[in-house]
Copies of this chain bind each other. A is one copy, B any other.
Amino acid sequence: MSNATIYDVAGAAGVSLATVSRVLNSPEKVKEETRQRVLKVIKELGYRPNVIARGLASRKTTTVGVVISDVTRASVAQMLSGILDIANKYNYSIKLFSIPEGADVLDALQNIVAEQVDGVLYLNDELSDRDVELVKKMFTDNNIPFVFANVATSDPIVPTVSIDYVKAGYEITKLLIDQGCKDIYLLSTARRYSVNDKKEEGYTKAMLDAGLEPKIFRTSGDTAINKPHFETFFANVNVDGAIAVRDSIAVSFLNIAINNGKVVPQNLKVAGFQNTRYAALSRPGLTSIDIPVYDIGAVSMRLLTKLMQSKDVENTRIILPHHIFKRESI
Contact = CB atoms under 8 A, between A and B. Distances in A.
Contacts of A95: 63, 93-96
Interface string A93-109: 11111101000000000
A179 B115 CA distance: 57
Given A2-B113, A95-B95, A248-B281, A53 B51 contact: no
A264 to B, nearest CB: 11
A1 B114 CA distance: 12
A66 B49 CA distance: 20
A255 B277 contact: no
A88 B81 contact: no
A52 interface: yes
B1 A142 contact: yes
A301 interface: no
Nearest to A115: B51
Contacts of A116: 50-52
Q: Do most interface residues of chain A lie in helix, strand or loop, or is the interface mixed?
A: helix
A71 B224 CA distance: 25
B61 A52 contact: yes
Contacts of A138: 2
Contacts of A70: 81
A64 to B, nearest CB: 11
A259 interface: yes
A281 B223 contact: yes
Contact of A281 (B74, B110, B282): B282
Contacts of A281: 223, 248, 251-252, 255, 278, 281-282
A140 to B, nearest CB: 11
A313 to B, nearest CB: 25
Interface of A: 1-3, 46, 48-53, 55-56, 61, 63, 66, 70-72, 74, 76-78, 80-81, 84-85, 88, 93-98, 100, 110-111, 113-116, 138, 141-142, 223-224, 248, 251-252, 255, 258-259, 277-278, 280-283
